[in-house]
């Protein structure tokens, strides 16, 4: 269950960082984001990635937690990169 929680937090974090960029936000919503919204999305992305790291370290300990977290953010980034173009259709 903790693996799924850490993965969902990592996916949310990567999505927040992705939508914090003007190009990707415009690709998804067909309008430009306000600067405050972009900063909020980026901040939320970093907070969710930190929460994912905390869950990973809590479950697997300091020896395997960071290694598992890097794997999870890689998987999350790849899934966001593959799913983002299809959401606009």
pTM of the model: 0.88
- Residue 29 CA: distances (Å) to CA of 33, 67, 73, 82: 9, 34, 24, 17
Span 63-75, average pLDDT:
94
Please tell me the distance from the alpha carbon of residue 82 to that of residue 2, in angstroms, as a whole number. Answer: 24
Span 56-80, average pLDDT:
93
- What's the confidence (pLDDT) of residue 80? 84
Read off the pLDDT of residues 27-59 as tens digits, 9 standing for 90 and up.
888 899 999 999 999 999 999 999 999 999 999
């Amino acid at each position: 269950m903790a693996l799924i929680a850490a993965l969902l937090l990592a996916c949310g974090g990567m999505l927040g960082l992705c939508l914090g960029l003007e190009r990707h936000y415009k690709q998804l919503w067909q309008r430009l984001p306000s600067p405050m919204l972009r900063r909020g999305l980026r901040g939320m992305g970093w907070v969710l990635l930190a929460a994912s790291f905390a869950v990973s370290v809590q479950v697997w300990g300091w020896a395997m937690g960071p290694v598992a977290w890097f794997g999870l953010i890689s998987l999350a980034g790849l899934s966001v990169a593959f799913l983002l173009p299809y959401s606009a259709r």
